[in-house]
Amino acid sequence: MVHARVSEEMPASCEAVFDLVHDYTRRLEWDTLLREAFVEGGAPAGHGAIAVCSGRWLIGGLTLRTVYVSFERGEVAAVKMINAPPLFASWAASIRHEPLGEARSLITYTYNFRAKPRWLAWLLEPILAIVFRWETGRRLRALQRELLRSGRQ
């Protein structure tokens, strides 16, 4: 099983960052991983909501359906995978926000996953771990740029 954490300082409050991350109508404006993102039924993100996120074709194009198991505005949101896409036996993530002062915060993306098929996990997990860590850092830097561009604080 892979378990990792990536943090980045954000030029906005915890609430502003949280709101942008979970606004699926704006997600594709900044998220470098995704080609599609929405909450089923058109509902807003929140505890119990099901989010569907499809990756870019360049990195496999996999679609994950996740359910929000925690959703506390400005503090933490967590999801777990509920479908069974190729390569992932399990997948879960949380995003925590810490205030750093006026209009600054720290976002920490923690994730874990298990690769499938099980007999190939020894090979797949290290490769997926490298790709996912690189892409997560890239996503957080893109989020940072979007917050600066939009003037959200």
Convert the pLDDT of each residue in 60-105 to its tens digit.
899 999 999 999 999 999 999 999 999 999 999 999 999 998 899 9
Question: All domains of the chain, ordered by start, with CATH?
Answer: 2-150 (3.30.530.20)
pTM of the predicted protein model: 0.94
Residues 32 and 11: their CA atoms lie apart, in Å, by 19
Walk across the sheet containing 76-81 and list its strands.
Answer: 2-10, 104-115, 88-101, 76-81, 63-72, 50-55, 34-39
Convert the pLDDT of each residue in 106-123 to its tens digit.
999 999 999 999 999 999
- Please say whether the beta carbons of 98 and 14 come within 8 A: yes
- Please say whether the beta carbons of 13 and 118 come within 8 A: no
pLDDT band at residue 153 under the 50/70/90 scheme: low
